[in-house]
Structure 1
């Protein structure tokens, strides 16, 4: 049984909720990432994705330097513990139609699991299963 901790990204980029959307956008660009975990007092309080910036700023013609990440973040982020099974995490992502899920342990950020992590995990599992089948048939 594979657990979330086995596939999660541990190096999660965070930003304080008081940073401007412009500053957040620069972090996204410079780090070549698609989302930030927003923190207050070192605890996750939301997520800002590229999609949030498009929908909440660009589409509304709001100047990015005039609004904080806290103002545009998604506050209802979903999370799991690091000892959650991959199957349960996938189900939670599917049920909530989300692309990433935050990993918290004792209310502290431990990592994140994205669709890419899940795809890589499933790909390796399929390749292993196919290899085992080939060995058995030889």
Structure 2
């Protein structure tokens, strides 16, 4: 199968020069996790920007300062498995499809799962591919605390737990962006300097005002943001069935639960891609 058969042709993109606020708008309205960036004058591919880039750089205003340059690309004639290897080897979830450095499409890990993997009769259990060390939080945790936990673990999602330690939902990077805004914060730094003479002492105080942007979250709790219906799988769910669950529910990841509804891991579209080349 050629990558052109499953790529998305109507590509949403940002431009340079351009502002970060315009990228936030695209991601929120189109419900995307990242977009390619093109040069405004020539239309040539210049980079890629993701939700992670935005969250990690709230103080930057210009797209060029945040985007990843020299992105991995693919030609429309390349085989799907070849592109999957590029994504796995470079730990990326999207690949722009280009001709003469102009974007003609894009393929994401979700596209691989939704348009290719679910059609393959792979009956092996997902436990081989799932991520086992996944952060969890109490469902009554405030959003800023939940975000701090994901940052500490360098993870892009967190599983919510009930009072009985059963899984009740999942909070993703998209949820954090949708429930946040970039605000300007002013801090004041004082420094005192004293100079002593024979007959007098001269005291002065310097005040430095620093303006910095930060990501500010709503005052909601985790349980206020997670979906009412928890979609989950077990470690024995087959690769084919799991890929179909992601496709049918238009999601990129799903918690893996045991028989007591306790989380034991997470399986993502990017994890399932490994099944195509192993």
Q: TM-score range, shorter-chain basis?
A: 0.7 to 0.9
Structure (1 or 2) with the greater strand fraction: 2
Higher relative contact order (CA 8 A, sep 6+): 1
Residues 91-130 of structure 1 correspond to what in structure 2 (within 5 A)?
91-120=85-114, 121-126=116-121
How big is the alpha-carbon RMSD for the aligned residues of Structure 1 and Structure 2?
Answer: 1.6
Cα separation, 2, equivalents of 1:19 and 1:45: 12
TM-score (norm 2): 0.41
Q: Structure 1 length as normaliser, TM-score?
A: 0.81
CA-CA distance at 1:32 after TM superposition: 1.5
Secondary structure of the corresponding residue to residue 92 of structure 2: coil
How many residue pairs get matched? 120
Q: What SS class does the counterpart of residue 126 from structure 1 fall into?
A: coil
Paired residue for 2:46?
A: 45
Partner of 1:36: 35
Report how far residue 46 of structure 1 moved.
Answer: 0.5
Out of 46, 66, 77, which is 1:83 matched to? 77
- Alpha-carbon deviation of 1:85? 0.4
- Alignment match, 1:70: 64
The match for 2:9 is 10
| Structure with the larger helix share | 1
Distance 1:13 1:79 in 2: 16
Runs (4+) of structure 1 exceeding 3 A deviation are none
Shift of 1:23: 1.6
* Largest Rg, 1 or 2: 2
